[in-house]
């Protein structure tokens, strides 16, 4: 793979990863859900209250972070591969996205976290 193709891949991957992570975080799109107390992993996004009474859902805390990260990685991998086959003339787009999208995604995550600070 040429240096130009590697550059397009890594820049597109980084930007797409940040974007998809923020989207996955906002929409609750986890590829899998981890239940550490039970030691089980379920495909897709699941909530404890779907299985137990909401009062008892603390017995089966769910974790989405791993699923969000995996979802972002898969989506970014696809975008990265597409970027390598696109024309070199578009490389300025990826170079621009890699330093603008991740900080914006971080700001989006700050916005999504605001409910914790209103309690």
Residue 72 binds another protein, judged by CB under 8 A:
yes
Tell me 119's DSSP state: -
Q: Is residue 73 a contact point for another protein (CB under 8 A)?
A: yes
| Touching another protein, residues 16-45 (CB under 8 A) | 16-18, 21, 25, 34, 36-37
16, 17, 51, 88, 112 from 69: Cα distances, Å:
12, 8, 24, 29, 16
Question: Among residues 31, 45, 46, 76, which is the contact residue for another protein, using CB under 8 A?
Answer: 76
DSSP-derived secondary structure for 29-74: --SEEEETTTTEEEES---GGGTS-GGGGGGS--B-HHHHHHHHHH
Question: What residues make contact with another protein under the rule CB under 8 A?
Answer: 6-7, 9-11, 13-14, 16-18, 21, 25, 34, 36-37, 58, 61, 63, 65-66, 68-69, 72-73, 76, 95, 98-99, 102-103, 105-106, 109-110, 112-117, 119
């Amino acid at each position: 793979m040429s240096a130009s193709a590697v550059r397009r891949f890594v820049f597109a991957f980084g930007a797409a990863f940040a974007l998809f992570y923020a989207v996955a975080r906002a929409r609750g799109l986890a590829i899998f859900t981890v239940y550490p107390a039970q030691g089980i992993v379920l495909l897709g996004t699941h909530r404890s209250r779907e299985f137990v009474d909401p009062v008892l859902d603390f017995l089966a805390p769910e974790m989405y972070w791993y699923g969000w990260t995996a979802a972002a990685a898969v989506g970014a991998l696809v975008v990265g591969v597409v970027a390598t086959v696109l024309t070199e003339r578009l490389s300025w787009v990826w170079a621009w996205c890699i330093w603008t999208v991740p900080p914006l995604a971080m700001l989006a995550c700050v916005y999504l976290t605001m409910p914790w600070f209103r309690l």
